Amino acid sequence: SSELTQDPAVSVALGQTVRITCQGDSLRNYYASWYQQKPGQAPVLVIYGTNKRPSGIPDRLSGSNSGNTASLTITGAQAEDEADYYCNSRDSSGYRWVFGGGTKLTVL
């Protein structure tokens, strides 16, 4: 079983705001990073260090962290945001990494 817990599926109306959460004890000590994956494609880093975006990632995606929970928020969701989203961090040992089970985002 994964040490990072995500809701399996979330939906959002076009243009609205949605939050995807990731819970795990390791998040009290390690930053979460977030990855977007579209069908048939490799994952893409979208958020790291809680709320930093790589070049090219739109600023409607943002991250936050509180205690053992990391969140990815999409403000003004667009059709192209429909994808699977995964969180990741080091596990409690510090020498291994773990991914959340993933959240399938549907934009209605």
Partner 1 sequence: EVQLVESGGGLVQPGGSLRLSCAASGFTVSSNYMSWVRQAPGKGLEWVSIIYSGGSTYHADSVKGRFTISRDNSKNTLFLQMSSLRAEDTAVYYCARVVISNTFGGLTYFDYWGQGTLVTVSS
User: Which residues would be at the binding site for partner 1 (CB under 8 A)?
Assistant: 2, 29-31, 33, 35, 37, 42-45, 48-49, 54, 84, 86, 88-90, 95-102
Nearer to partner 1, 51 or 73 (CB): 51
Q: How many residues does the chain have?
A: 108
CB of 71: closest distance to partner 1 in angstroms? Answer: 16
Nearer to partner 1, 19 or 90 (CB): 90
Backbone angle region of 102, left / alpha / beta, with phi > 0 → left and psi within -120 to 50 → alpha: left
CB of 108: closest distance to partner 1 in angstroms? Answer: 23
CA 96 to chain centre: 19
For 47-69, give one letter per residue: b (16+ CB within 10 A) or e: bbebbebeeebeeebbbebeeeb
CB of 94: closest distance to partner 1 in angstroms? Answer: 8
